[in-house]
Structure formats: C-alpha cells, structure tokens
Chain A
Amino acid sequence: MSLSPRLHQIAHHITPGASVLDVGCSDGLLLDYLRREKQVDGRGIELDAERVARAVARGLSVVQGNADHDLAAFPDASVDFAILSETLQAMQRPDEVLAHLLRIGRRAIVAFPNFGHWRVRANILFGGRMPVTKGLPQSWYETENIHLCTIDDFRALAASRGYRIIAQRHLWGANPQSAWPNLLADHALFVLSN
C-alpha cells in the first residue's frame, strides 16, 4: 500500500526504530507503513470508532479518544515523535494540543493545510465567501476545521512558545514549494522540539 505524498513526507522525517504517537491517526495507514518500513514502535489515537476498529484490526495499538482531552494521560517524553497530521485545525485548543505533543514526544511533527494559500485568499478577496478548495472541501457550517491557520500563524505560535523549528517542508499539491510558501504552498509540515 502506498502513502500519499503528505504522509510520505511525514514518514521521511521518522528515524528507523523510533517510537511514535500518531494523534488523529485515522485508520492507521501511516502507523502501518512505519511499522513495516521503519520498524517503528507505534501508537495512535483517533476519534472515529470505525477508523479505530480498522486500525486495531490491522494489529495497531490505537485507542479511541479525543486529542483535546485524552493526551493528558500519556507520560512525559514517552515517544521519539508525536505526529499530528491534518488534525491541528480541528482541535478546540491547538496550542494546548501542541504543548502536549512536545511534552509526550521528544519531537513533534505537525502537518496542516495552509490557510494563507493564494486560492484561499482569492476566495475571500474576490468571492467574498469562505473558501471551499480541494484541501478544504467542506462548507464553513459543516467543516470540522474550526481553527485554520496560515504558515506564518503557525510560525508565530511556535516562536511565542519558544519551540524550535527543526525542519519545515511546504507542498503545492504533491510538489515541494520553497518560494513564498505562505502564499504559494497549500500544505505545510513542521518538525518541532522544545
């Protein structure tokens, strides 16, 4: 089974044999890949019962839970990498979840859609409407994405909390986007440490 370019980019930053907590792990596709290809000791947490059931049926250690409430039980510095993929913007308190990631993991890997992308800006600027794009396909009233941010917003949050940015990768579709990422990249990945 092949990974999407986004998940592949996350996997790229995981060192073989590492321990991993994937927060919002869906049906465990990434954890399954990391277990097979990188001999990772993986755990996951996922809100949706059916996805959890599919992940556990794959033999993964995944618990049904809510990242906003259930990360507190995880011990300090208990994994090498805490991953938050496509989930940050759906959190009640993204800042607190981020703090938990960096408490539980020695490093945090956070991937999210960039709300500063020009298509999003154009939607609001010219259309006067909340954007509906390929990366953000739902209307404002039904989306789970309640805390969308731009790449610059995220950098500012990391700076204000004193987190170190170890690496950052920006994508436009499946391709790297290094110039003017806050405008031209529709997706971002950050590797953070305390």
Chain B
Amino acid sequence: MNARSSLHRSLRLPHDLPLESGAVLPRPMIGYETYGELAADGGNAILICHALTGDQYVASTHPLTGKPGWWTRMVGRGRPVDPARHFIICMNVIGGCMGSEGPASPHPDGDGCWGLRFPVITIADMVRAQAAALDALGIGRLLAVVGGSMGGMQALQWAAQYPDRVASVVAIATAARHSAQNIAFHEVGRQAIMADPEWQGGAYTAAGTNPARGLSVARMAAHITYLSEAGLTGKFGRNLQDRAEVGFGFDADFQVESYLRYQGMSFVDRFDANSYLYITRAMDYFDLATAHDGLLAPAFAATSARFCIVSFDSDWLYPTAESRRIVQALVAAGRHVSFVELSSPHGHDSFLLDAPTMNAVVDGFLRSGEGAAA
C-alpha cells in the first residue's frame, strides 16, 4: 500500500472516496509525512493540516524547493508539537499536487491527467480523505488536530465531522466560513489563471503549455492578502529597486513590485495551476453553519473536544471577528475553549512567523490535554 511515488511518500486508499458533490474519487492517493513514534496505546497522534499552498512537509526539507519545513516554529524538537512525545502526521490535501490525488494526477483511465475532469472537492472531502488515510495507517483517535488558515478550517471541520475522533483542536488565523471578500480575492486568482492562454481550458499538460503567468499573478494578489499594510510599509515603504529614481516605465521600479514578482515566479515552480483552482474553490464553499440552518453552535454540539482558537490583530484576511464568532459558538455549545487575539504587525502570515506567545499558548493547551488523557 505504501509507496514513494517519484518524490513523495504516499499511500493509496483501499476504497473509493465519496465526495460532498455526489461524485466519487476512485481509490485516491494520499501524500503524507510523519515525525516521531506512535505510542503503544496510539494516544499521541497529532494531525497537522496545511494551508492553501502548503503541503505535507511541515517539519522536513521540501524535496522540490530544498527549503525547510513550512511550520518548523510550531513543529519540531522542543516545539509545541514535538516528535519527542507526539506522533505527527501531515498530509497533502486531496486536490493538491504533492503526492495526493489532484487534477495533475494521472486519470484512472490512463488517459492523461485528470485536469478539469477532477471532481470539485470541499474542506469536508479533504477531512474525509484524511480520516480514511488514518484508518489505513492504523490510527484511531487523534490527540489533536492543529492547523492555521485553511488548516484551521480543516481542524474545525474535523470536530464537526468526526466528533469522537479528536480530543483537542487548535485553529489559528482562520474562520468557520469564507466571507464575500475571501471569495472575491480567490476569484481574482482563478480568473488570472484562466485568462492565461497557456491554461488551455485546464488541459495544459496535454497541450504542453504552462499557465505560469496566470498562476504567478494569482499568487501575487493572494500574497498581498497574507500581509498587512503596516507590514508592507515597514518592509518596503516606497523604496526603489536597484535604482536611484523611478524609470518612467513598467519595470519593477519599487522593491514591493520586485518582491511580489519573485513570490509569484517562485510559486509556479512548486504548484499546479489547476490545484490552485480546486483548493480555492473548496475554501470558498466552506461554511460550517450551512448544515445547521446557518447556526454555527450546532456544528460543535456532538464533539467533546477542547478548542484553542488564536487570531492576530493585523490579520484582515481572517480577522479576529471571525474567530470570536467561532468562540461564541463553542461557548454556546458548552465546549471547553481557549481564545486569544495576539498582536503582530505581519497580517495573516503571522501564524507562520516567530510568535513566542502563540507557541506558549499552544504548548500549554496541548500539554493540559495530554495531562487529562493520562
């Protein structure tokens, strides 16, 4: 069952995966990484869920970019999620492009890759795939599910969808629904990809083209939403890039332009354009209250999990108001919840950066859960 398909460690689910849309994904592949050892009683398993453009390489070197893991500040020796005491699993979401079944995976017919034939997936589908993969790995109840941004959405979805299978939920810089503004920014990104002639109606692999420009623009627009006005001003201001005065043209005169172009270009080397369409769609469809007539609290009625919710004051993508809404629902549902809004100038990306208070909060939260379990 286990295989290291080309670059990524992965497994193929032993059964088909039914999706929220009604479609069925035949025996999808799941790319994953693990750190630490599973305890004899299986009680130390923590699932880390990644964000939109993240992957399973949470605490190990990325095989494509050679960069260190994307959340080594949270996961690693001496960190709140610690392989010395936890068995840590991180999976690439379905729809992704790092070893999990996605639009760039080979179609089961053997007729090229999925492309736009890949079914539209949701956050609930991602979580269902993770649960199935954990079944395959012999992992039952999770000590914790931890995630930021889209990873936080999955963590919340876990408690709603598998209420008895998770003891603690850590959801950072996230929301229980996508707002009109969130959807709007994603639509800009998708339109940028689809407007690239090399996108070829999604069939760029067969056509031998690459919609890198469109994907790069999508990444540039999205990247702005991950930062803050104060953060951009502090980092770049109106500083010019390698020149003493403006060039009266459309080169990257300003440092911020050069920075965004670099962010866009480096992204296309590691990410599939169609995956970007599918995963942003999944996020846009996300609203935990939909299944409960618009009420959020009932989504948390069945679980006995404890929750740790953290927001950042400069995060305007998933602002504190959305975290408060989650907290109020959890309180109303009678759940044990910890919530704090932390101060940081770095916007949404704060959760990925050095945040000692966030680490202290998550560490204390996880340890007290372990004490209760022992």
Interface residues of A (CB under 8 A from B): 43, 49-50, 52-53, 55-65, 70, 73-75, 78
Contact = CB atoms under 8 A, between A and B. Distances in A.
B236 interface: no
Interface string B327-348: 1110110101111111100000
Given A59-B364, A61-B306, A63-B327, A53 B334 contact: no
Given A61-B337, A61-B338, A64-B340, A73 B357 contact: no
A64 B324 CA distance: 9
Nearest to A54: B360
Interface in B293-329: 306, 308, 324, 327-329
B361 A63 contact: no
Q: For this complex, into which size category does the number of interface residues on chain B fall?
A: 20 to 34
B331 A63 contact: yes
Contacts of A75: 331-332, 334
B357 A53 contact: yes
A62 B331 contact: no
B276 interface: no
**Prevailing SS type, chain A contact patch:** mixed
B342 A73 contact: no
Nearest to B360: A57
Interface in B351-371: 357, 360-361, 363-365, 367-369, 371
A2 to B, nearest CB: 21
Contacts of A55: 338
Shortest beta-carbon contacts, A-B, top 8? A59-B368, A57-B364, A63-B339, A73-B328, A61-B336, A56-B338, A57-B360, A73-B331
A24 to B, nearest CB: 15
Interface string B56-98: 0000000000000000000000000000000000000000000
Residue of A55, A57, A58, A62 contacting most chain B CB atoms (<10 Å): A57
B332 A63 contact: no
Contact of A63 (B338, B357, B363): B338
Nearest to B325: A73
Contacts of B308: 56
Contacts of A78: 334
Contacts of B331: 63, 73-75
Nearest to B361: A56
A43 B365 CA distance: 13
Contact of A59 (B337, B341, B365): B365
Contact of B338 (A49, A50, A62, A73): A62
A73 B332 contact: yes
Contacts of B334: 75, 78
B332 A60 contact: no
26 contacts: A43-B337, A49-B340, A49-B341, A49-B343, A50-B357, A52-B339, A53-B340, A53-B342, A53-B357, A53-B360, A56-B338, A56-B361, A56-B365, A57-B365, A59-B369, A61-B337, A62-B339, A63-B339, A63-B340, A64-B340, A64-B341, A65-B324, A70-B328, A73-B331, A73-B332, A75-B331
B99 to A, nearest CB: 35
Nearest to A43: B336
A4 B335 CA distance: 30
Nearest to A35: B368
Contacts of B336: 43, 61
Contacts of A64: 339-341
Contacts of A43: 336-337
A56 B342 CA distance: 12
A49 B364 CA distance: 15
B51 to A, nearest CB: 23
B228 to A, nearest CB: 18
Given A59-B364, A59-B365, A52 B340 contact: yes
Given A43-B337, A57-B363, A63-B340, 10 more contacts: A49-B340, A50-B357, A53-B361, A56-B308, A56-B338, A56-B361, A57-B365, A59-B365, A63-B337, A65-B339
Given A53-B342, A64-B341, A59 B371 contact: yes
